[in-house]
Copies of this chain bind each other. A is one copy, B any other.
Amino acid sequence: MKKRNIIIDCDPGIDDIIALSFAIANEDKLNILGITTVAGNQSIEKVTSNTLKLISFFNKDIKIAKGQKGPLLREKCVVSKVHGENGMGDYELPEPKIQLSSDNAITFLRDTILNCEDMVTLVPIGPLTNIALLIKTFPEVVEKIELLSIMGGSTDVGNYTPSAEFNVWADPEAANIVFKSGIPIVMSGLNVTHTTGLYREDVDSLLKSNGKVTHMCGKILDFYFKGDHVNNGKFTPIHDACSIMYLLYPEIYKYRHMKVEVDCSEGLNRGNTVADVRDWVNYDETYPKVLLEVDSDKFTEILLSELYKLDNIMK
């Protein structure tokens, strides 16, 4: 089977770290053309530094490009406290041995996509600022993007506000541009990411592990549990891993195609993704594929075993 070409656009961020690790554990299936960063969970400097450190830690030579320092319209990007001062739950990885391939994620994305022989899948797991600017500034890439597997939005509850998920809330105008672009979209929103993840005992096992990678994952997830309020500390979603999981195991998800619009008003619903979940209204396959359910046990099992696999790879 042919590998899928992907570029991950991220803001690590604890769950971003898990998602990146999960992707790297699957390089037999995923051809990672590059990683772009965007301000979100932390400042652009910190999330870019975290990405460089992580890829160095894995001894990989994946290209990394630094992206936007804030959203399209608002001046400063609010930083999530859930991810700690350094954006990695205050876990300290060694200084990176590699350097940025580019300090402009937009041109890096354009060049990488256009230079790739086949179609490319983008995996945006942070605010959608880079992707929106890519689409508007270089519209010629649109037809070369096979899929956007997005972590963002929700069909029901929010997290940053009662009605808005953080990634979309952080740049609603960018999300609006992306959802209107016509590019095929798979949306992993809170409605599905909240229903699966890792259990307290999973994290305890990771913490006790001698493996270099799994121990690191245990440490940052231990911090993540503190900030997570869902499920009373027994369980934590790993939001960003969902968008990678979908690429590898689409069969564990249920979904429907539906219209998704982004509320860009100043009011209560800023950043809310209005997904038309009325089941008596039908949309064809040109509309975003919104993930609605996941086989939660499979998700947990796969994610954990892939993280442990990384310990072997790195030996």
Contacts and interface: CB of A to CB of B under 8 A. Distances in A.
Contact of A73 (B173, B229, B263, B278): B173
Contacts of A266: 265-267
A72 interface: yes
B133 A136 contact: yes
Interface of chain A, helix or strand or loop or mixed? loop
B278 A156 contact: no
A177 B72 contact: yes
A193 interface: no
Interface residues of A, number: 44
Contact of A264 (B155, B162, B264): B264
Contacts of A136: 68, 72, 133
- Tallying the copies of this chain within the complex gives 4
Given A137-B137, A162-B276, A267 B265 contact: yes
A261 interface: yes
A47 interface: no
Contact of A156 (B106, B156, B176, B268): B156
Contact of A133 (B133, B180, B281): B133
A40 interface: no
A157 interface: yes
Interface string A274-311: 11111111000000000000000000000000000000
A239 interface: no
A197 to B, nearest CB: 14
Interface of A: 68-69, 72-73, 75, 104, 106-107, 133, 136-139, 155-159, 162-163, 173, 176-177, 180, 229-230, 259, 261, 263-269, 272, 274-281
Given A73-B173, A162-B276, A261-B268, 5 more contacts: A72-B173, A163-B272, A230-B279, A265-B266, A267-B269
